[in-house]
Amino acid sequence: MRPGISFLFLLLLAVPSLAAAQEGRAAAQRAESLHAAGRPWHAAETLLAAATREPHQNAAFIVQSARAELRARRYDRARSLLAGQPWLDDYGDGEALAILAEAEAHLGASAAAAAHFVAARARASGPPPSPPSPSPRAALLAVRAGLAFEAAGAPDSAARYYAAARAGGGGAAGGLATIDAWLRLRQARVTSDTAVVNRLLADLPPKVAREAPAARARALLAAGDSAAALERLSSTGHLLDAARLALALHDTARARAALYDLIGRAPESDDAAAGEALASGGLPPRLPAERVALARTLRLHGDVTAARVQVARAVGQGDSTAATLVLYGEVLAAAGRLSDAERAYRAATGDSALGPLALYRRARVLLRLGDPGATEALSAFAQTYPADTAAPTALYLVGDLLEGRGDWTGAGRWFGALLSRYPADLRASNARFRLAARATEEGRPDSAARLYQAEVDASGPQRNAARFWLGRLARERGDAAKAQELWTALAHEDSIGYYGLRARREVALAPLRIADAPTAPVPPVVAAELGALDTLILAGLDTEAQAEVRWVLLHPPQETDALLVWSARLAEAGWGPAGVRLGWLTVARNPNDPRALRAIFPWPDRAAVEAEAQEFGVDPLLFVAIVRQESVFDLEALSAAGARGLAQLLPGTAARTARSLDVTYYPEWITVADLNLHLGAAHLADLLRRYGGRVEAAVAAYNAGPIPVARWLARPGADDPDRFIELIPYPETRGYVRAVLRNRELYRALYAAASPNN
Give catalytic residues, as residue numbers.
Answer: 630
Query: Rounded to an integer, what distance in angstroms lies between the CA atom of residue 210 and that of residue 674?
Result: 36
Query: Rounded to an integer, what distance in angstroms lies between the CA atom of residue 72 and that of residue 74?
Result: 5
Of 310, 315, 343, nearest to 329 by C-alpha is 343
Q: Are 41 and 612 in contact (CB under 8 A)?
A: no
Query: Rounded to an integer, what distance in angstroms lies between the CA atom of residue 367 and that of residue 598?
Result: 45
Q: Which helix (H) or strand (E) holds 276?
A: helix 270-280
The DSSP output letter for 413 is H
Query: Rounded to an integer, what distance in angstroms lies between the CA atom of residue 265 and that of residue 273?
Result: 12
Query: Rounded to an integer, what distance in angstroms lies between the CA atom of residue 696 and that of residue 523?
Result: 43
φ and ψ at 131, to 5 degrees?
Answer: -80, 165
Local structure of 153: helix, strand or coil: coil
Q: Are 133 and 139 in contact (CB under 8 A)?
A: no
Helix-helix angle 463-476:426-441, to 10 degrees: 10
Q: Are 603 and 751 in contact (CB under 8 A)?
A: yes
Query: Rounded to an integer, what distance in angstroms lies between the CA atom of residue 118 and that of residue 124?
Result: 10
Count of CB atoms situated within 10 Å of the CB of 92 = 15
φ and ψ at 165, to 5 degrees?
Answer: -65, -40
Query: Rounded to an integer, what distance in angstroms lies between the CA atom of residue 758 and that of residue 741?
Result: 12
Bridge partner list, 649: 644
Query: Rounded to an integer, what distance in angstroms lies between the CA atom of residue 89 and that of residue 95?
Result: 10
Query: Rounded to an integer, what distance in angstroms lies between the CA atom of residue 741 and that of residue 505?
Result: 13
Q: Are 726 and 465 in contact (CB under 8 A)?
A: yes
Q: Are 445 and 476 in contact (CB under 8 A)?
A: yes
Distance in angstroms between the alpha carbons of the first and the last residue of the chain: 62
587: CB partners within 8 A, 6+ apart: 593, 596, 597, 600
Local structure of 325: helix, strand or coil: helix
Q: Are 278 and 259 in contact (CB under 8 A)?
A: yes
Query: Rounded to an integer, what distance in angstroms lies between the CA atom of residue 2 and that of residue 335?
Result: 62
Bridge partner list, 720: none
The DSSP output letter for 634 is B
Q: Are 626 and 647 in contact (CB under 8 A)?
A: yes
Cα separations in angstroms, 731 against 88, 185, 727, 728: 58, 48, 10, 7
Q: Could you tell me where the beta strands, DSSP code E, fall in 379-438?
A: none
Bridge partner list, 638: 644
Count of CB atoms situated within 10 Å of the CB of 95 = 17
* Long-range contacts of 339-344, Cβ-Cβ distance < 8 Å, separation of 24 or more: 339/369, 341/365, 342/366, 342/369
- Cis status of the peptide bond prior to 131, with omega within 30 of 0: yes
Q: Are 676 and 647 in contact (CB under 8 A)?
A: yes
SS3 of 144-169: the string is: HHHHHHHHCCCHHHHHHHHHHHHHHH
Total count of residues recorded for the chain: 758
Query: Rounded to an integer, what distance in angstroms lies between the CA atom of residue 177 and that of residue 469?
Result: 61
